[in-house]
Amino acid sequence: MNKVGFFRSIQLKFIIIYILLLLLAMQVIGTFFMKKLEDELLMNYTESISERMDLLSYNLEQAFNKERTEDGEGLTLHQEVQQIVDEISIDTALTSIQVINNQGRIIGTNDSNYQKDIGKKTSQDIIDNALFFNSFKDDIMLDEETQERVYVQALPLYDKEGTVVGIIYAKAPIQTVYDQLNEINDIFIQGSILAIGISAFLGILVARTITKPIMEMRRQAQIMAKGDFTQKVNVYGKDEIGQLAETFNDLNSRLKHSYATIEEERRKLSSVLLNMSDGVISIDNSGIITLTNESAGRLIGQNPDDIIGDYFLDVLQLEDKIVDITELQDSGSIIIDFSEDDEPLLIRANFSTVVDDEDEITGFIAVLSDVTEQEKVEQERREFVSNVSHELRTPLTTMKSYIEALTEGAWQDKEIAPRFLNVAQNETDRMIRMVNDLLQLSKLDQDEYPMHKERTEFIGYFHHVIDRLEMNIPEQLTFKRELPKGLFYVWIDKDKMTQVLDNIISNAIKYSPEGGEIRLKVEQKRHHLLISVKDEGIGIAYDKLDKIFERFYRADKARSRKLGGTGLGLAITKELIEAHHGKIWAKSKEGKGTTILFTLPLMNQKRRGR
């Protein structure tokens, strides 16, 4: 985060606002004070002049109203007016007084500059307005000669009938009043500058007091933004800023707890995503991948970091199934085929929506599961049901046909009836064997088939089994034994192992041609015995070798069914061998026979008791 400079800081703003408020207050106070002072000085000055003008006016009116004789005794009006004016100017501050009669002529003045104008008419507007329009007023104006402010006043003189008989025109210098105001204003400005300087200094201190906790909280917020919640801000008082600091510290503690909780949940989620066997892909509402785990990368065969930011439908090759990403909210789950020529791979994608507080869809979560084995098992289950149905339908159809024939009267035929009954009995025995084999497989699948294992010397036991089977083989077949000498002990259930050997050797007998040889071999390996049974039959194609251990699979269906096989013998054999901790497999070439091999652990490499 960028550091805030002083000229952009809240501290400078506080100082500027503080000074501006001070300036505004001083300006208002100064303006009001100077205006009042000016009014007071001017009023005192004009009142002083007005008082003297009133006295002068009274004396002059007495002179104008005085009766004079024609013989010339006494003073003339001009002389008496001049005398009164001279007397009034002795103790007055007036600069100039002129007395004008009703014809507009000057008849007396105390101003030496206007002595020569006595008897002459004056042309001043204020005097003309007073004589002709009865407009008597006072005013402040600029003297054209001195360029200073002067106070002028025109005062009427009345006779006994109230007629204007003359005018007193007074002009007094008032510039001294304004000079005093200017001096006072300069003193006020100097005091204001000094006050502003002191206030600015105090404003800086006050601003620092206010902004210091805020700056500390700002620094702490920057530290908190980096995930460090260990530090606290100082609390300097109990005012609003102090309460804010306490609240900030409380917020820091709460954020620390929340951050720790979120981080713990994030680690849990990360661990779950990392260790999930299912793939998880997070998608935003525009279809862009935002998150994925390792399992998803392994399932789709791409680096999970490389597909972040890619379009989801392109990555999972769903363009043919989904046109728009919004269709995912209704799609539920989709099976995606990633199979290659040599390796099948089916992936189920389950979709769920991610919504915000207003139930608006903000994205999708796709959970990918490898359902290859599940689909394979499901397919095998369907095939198994189909095979069971087919295997049961064949003998049932045969029995139904023969029983119908017997019902229709064939039972009375002494030659046909026994043959028909014999076929029905054989088919019944075949179904019973099939059902027993199915029950045995079911128990083996559910680990409910009891095993009674015992320590057995295998070579002698194998000879006994071969001897029993050799007594019933056709004369054109021969057994060739390749069994080592010595004692080899294994931990087996003799009855179950006898069933295994009977199944394998019986199959070899079934598929061996006339004059063929069946080779029975036992080899000692490091930890186990390797038992093999080889015939010289028609053989099995390479791509079908793994299928011979599947349920109801027959390499030669016609021959197996003719000999009464159920197609479950090798499946049962495989389950029993694995129950004895061994392995079974086959080798074959078409036209050159088949070899069935399986292993059994030797007891000297295993515990003697289980």
Mean pLDDT of 459-470: 90
Closest-CA residue to 493 (of 538, 445, 449, 446): 449
Please report which confidence band the pLDDT of residue 534 belongs to, taking 50, 70 and 90 as the band edges: very high
Percent of the chain with pLDDT over 70: 84
Q: Give residue 92's pLDDT.
A: 47
Q: Is the pLDDT of residue 388 over 80?
A: no
Neighbours of 362 (CB within 10 A): 11
Q: Give residue 561's pLDDT.
A: 46
- 207's torsion region: left (phi>0), alpha (psi -120 to 50) or beta? alpha
Alpha carbon distances (Å) from 499 to 426, 453, 472, 482, 496: 21, 14, 16, 21, 5
Mean pLDDT of 89-107: 71
Angle at 307 between CA 302 and CA 310, to 5 degrees: 140
- The DSSP string of 324-393 is SGGGHHHH-EEEEE---SS---EEEEEEEEEE-TT--EEEEEEEEEE-HHHHHHHHHHHHHHHHHHHHHH
Mean pLDDT of 231-258: 80
Each residue of 257-283: pLDDT tens digit?
Answer: 888 888 888 888 777 777 777 888 888
Please report which confidence band the pLDDT of residue 443 belongs to, taking 50, 70 and 90 as the band edges: low
Q: In whole angstroms, give the CA distance from residue 243 to residue 246.
A: 5
Q: Which residues of 133-170 are buried (b: 16+ CB within 10 A; e: fewer)?
A: eeebebebeeeeeeeebbbbbbbbbeeeeeebbbbbbb
Percent of the chain with pLDDT over 90: 7
Lowest mean pLDDT among 14-18, 444-448, 601-605: 444-448
Longest dimension (CA), the chain: 207
Report field, pTM of the whole predicted structure over 0.75: no
Each residue of 392-436: pLDDT tens digit?
Answer: 676 777 777 778 777 777 777 777 778 778 777 777 777 776 677
Mean pLDDT of 482-498: 89
Q: Is the pLDDT of residue 486 over 50?
A: yes
Average pLDDT, the chain: 78
Q: Is the pLDDT of residue 315 over 70?
A: yes
What 3-state DSSP class applies to 72? coil
Q: Is the pLDDT of residue 328 over 90?
A: no
Q: Give residue 606's pLDDT.
A: 42
Closest-CA residue to 280 (of 345, 347, 327, 331): 347
